[in-house]
Amino acid sequence: MKYQQSEDTFTKNAKRFGLDRFKSVQWRSREFVGGLAMLTGSMTTQSNETIDLQISLGKEKRVWKVRSIEIEPNGPVQPNPGS
């Protein structure tokens, strides 16, 4: 998901990749520079799959917003065609 999208599309894509069904998250790295942040870690889904991810955030008018999410390219989670 590397392009600007509406909140509705973002929510649908997050569900598609299982990002809404997590059991735990562990961050290996948290970097903050001014109004930008980069989080790198792994997420365990409710079905015990582990997904490596990197989330970029930007602060706009005192609110943190997701700029990008990079998911392990060949990770275990595949889009669910039934969603």
pLDDT at 66 over 90: no
- Across the chain, mean pLDDT equals 81
Give the pLDDT confidence score for residue 72 in this predicted structure.
76
Q: What does the alpha-carbon distance between residue 55 and residue 11 come to, in Å, rounded to a whole number?
A: 15
Q: Which domains does the chain have, with CATH numbers?
A: 7-71 (3.10.450.630)
Look at residue 81 in the predicted model and tell me its pLDDT. Answer: 43
pLDDT at 15 over 60: yes
Of residues 77 and 44, the one with the higher pLDDT is: 44
Top pLDDT among 31 and 46 is at: 31
Q: What is the pLDDT at residue 17?
A: 77
What contacts 41, CB < 8 A, 6 or more positions away? Answer: 25, 26, 27, 28, 29, 52, 53
* Closest of 57, 55, 33, 56 to residue 42, by C-alpha: 55
CA distance 32 to 30: 7
The rounded distance, in Å, linking the Cα atoms of 28 and 13 is 24
